[in-house]
Chain A
């Protein structure tokens, strides 16, 4: 990295052909959501009294939480362990986490039957400390709030001294600006509270997500039923944090035609093989202690999926990312990161859907077209919002000289002059 990099809003056209496709998927998903709220879960999902949970829990919620782990892992390395050079990637990771968790909350809303009661776990007289789901719920709610606080300084940075409301409400410019200045000062002082809280809360709910299915000993496939599950969920979430940052960063630079930050990303990806190795060791130990190796080699659907999780999702990326030659190329980094992410997604689907065997259902659950559309729609909405946010707020870092160069002509300058 030669030039110093600073985060700036990206000035490009919002709609490209690719974005239009994403938008179309989003619209289809929105129809599905409307359909669900008007006609109920029975009309849109393939759930029944045997399969209480489907892909909205397995993917939207549980994968959503795992893949938003980039937020707390980068915050930890850059802010808590003071590896300053990673500051350039904390903001995109924070944005993904913030949007990701917002959609996790939204996904829960869609899935639960009495969505208007979603706030009930916050009422002390309904606290249910025995329930792992309560633990997940309360931590996720708190963490979303923490993420908003963590992101707020970026909003302040964008608007401080530039508040420019139109026409009549322009009189509010000064007071709002004043508030932003005070908020800025306060948040600078107490920001660390939120950063550490974010990490602790993440540890708590990432692991508790793994506890959920431990309550179902008699209906789970032995390959995935283990009391180690919370630890495995936690370690895999930590392990997928950096690959997720790598994945997004490469995609974003591709989409905005920026130079990918290969050295920083490669440096971040160095940690991944160690975390994957730890995960693999725990998995192997667990299989051995529980004496369930025979299930791995019974060549059933379950055993193939299990092997795919471990070989493609853990061992292969562990090898790719530990070889420096591959790690320092965009292709190697991207492949490695994608495999890790795929492995974690597959693992969550396996734990919540594949391993779960109801007693009386003769047909295995498969999501309905609406369930799939809603899930795809949520992911699309997340992508669209991410794109909008990085265009409005200073999230993605670019070399300082380039930014300065552009200030002469583009709207960046206009913005500045308006502010003065």
Chain B
């Protein structure tokens, strides 16, 4: 990637000092240090160099089986498109814009931490929960392992430990909620990114930043902040140099997903009135005089 970082970030004007300290751009930019409300991350795929340090940091953070940092330099891994699974919560894939096939670009994928997550709506026991400050978290103790969350997620993110016979868990990115985001910490991947492709901050600020970058460099980005509107909005958002169709991120409508079923559920079971009404009606029919109509005649 030939473009200088500084050119890119425009409005961000990052200072490299804090970069080394592992602080995110968000902090330097006067984004609130503590984002109790709606933490978010902006992934700039045009800046990402595909170094996969975020994968390494994620594996370390979550005690997943990891390799030496050097092993992540291996570019042959991009030959196949990988997906996050129960052993890796985030992966980086390489994509090419058909109109500019010489230049690859990279997309990190993980749970999008939807604003109105389908997985949370699906879960039979409330084992998945959207925290007010952004992360969608999982409680293995509650989980019964029905995998409805896997069926429901529009990004195909939750991964199941199918190989675990006794205590399988649903695995996915936790947004590093265990690092206590409210106290000024950033997710491990954001901290690890050497190129500031990942920006942590409040969702509103990041949307502003994303549009400002598009405006400042219209030839470097498509005019689309992925995740701003998809399925009602997500906490992780993306900028890309070419149409998102080239990447593995699915094309999704702006409508939130859960109302599809929740509206039905709530209409049918509102204060238990419809079931109770049905009960009463059937009770009345049953209590009324037995039907004397001689049906046998009809069929004889």
Contacts and interface: CB of A to CB of B under 8 A. Distances in A.
Interface in A112-146: 112-115, 117-118, 120-121, 123, 126-135, 137
A347 interface: no
B291 A126 contact: no
Contact of B158 (A49, A267, A358): A49
Interface stretch (B64-72, B176-184, B252-260): B252-260
Majority secondary structure, A binding face: helix
B299 A132 contact: no
Contact of B164 (A40, A204, A216): A40
Given A81-B285, A199-B282, A267 B261 contact: no
B78 interface: no
Contact of A212 (B148, B266, B282): B148
Given A131-B124, A358-B156, A192 B145 contact: no
Contacts of B279: 196-197, 200
B150 A52 contact: yes
B295 A83 contact: yes
Contacts of B248: 359-360
Contacts of A79: 286
B158 A215 contact: no
A37 B165 contact: yes
A283 B252 CA distance: 27
B168 A196 contact: no
Interface string A63-90: 0000000000000100111111100000
B99 interface: no
Contacts of A203: 275, 278
Contacts of B144: 112-115, 117-118, 120-121
A265 to B, nearest CB: 10
Nearest to B292: A82
Interface string B265-293: 11011000001001100110110001100
Given A85-B296, A120-B142, A199-B282, A52 B160 contact: yes
B126 interface: yes
Nearest to B170: A113
Contact of A121 (B85, B124, B151, B291): B124
Contact of B165 (A39, A85, A356): A39
A391 interface: no
Contact of B167 (A47, A112, A114, A208): A114
B266 to A, nearest CB: 8
Given A42-B163, A112-B145, A227 B260 contact: yes
B112 interface: no
Interface in B112-167: 118, 121-126, 142-152, 154-156, 158-167
Given A49-B158, A52-B148, A82-B290, A211 B265 contact: yes
Contacts of A197: 279
A215 B156 contact: no
B11 to A, nearest CB: 34
Contacts of B126: 126-128
Contacts of B291: 81-83
B288 to A, nearest CB: 8
A218 B253 contact: yes
Given A130-B265, A200-B282, A40 B275 contact: no
A200 B275 contact: yes
A34 to B, nearest CB: 12
Contact of A133 (B148, B298, B300): B148
Interface centre among B159, B266, B285, B286 (most CB of A within 10 A): B286
Contacts of A59: none
B36 interface: no
Contacts of B269: 129, 135, 204
A267 B296 contact: yes
Contacts of B253: 217-218
B258 A85 contact: no
B250 interface: yes
Interface in B73-125: 81, 83, 85-86, 118, 121-125
A115 B285 CA distance: 40
B262 interface: yes
Contacts of B118: 215-216
A216 B151 contact: yes
Contacts of A358: 156
Given A131-B148, A204-B275, A214-B264, 4 more contacts: A130-B121, A196-B283, A211-B264, A215-B261
> What are the 6 closest A-B residue pairs judged by CB atoms, nearest first?
A113-B145, A42-B162, A52-B150, A40-B165, A82-B290, A52-B147
8 contacts: A47-B162, A111-B146, A113-B160, A131-B124, A211-B261, A217-B253, A217-B257, A267-B298
Interface of B: 81, 83, 85-86, 118, 121-126, 142-152, 154-156, 158-168, 231, 248, 250, 252-253, 255, 257-258, 260-262, 264-266, 268-269, 275, 278-279, 282-283, 285-286, 290-291, 295-296, 298-300
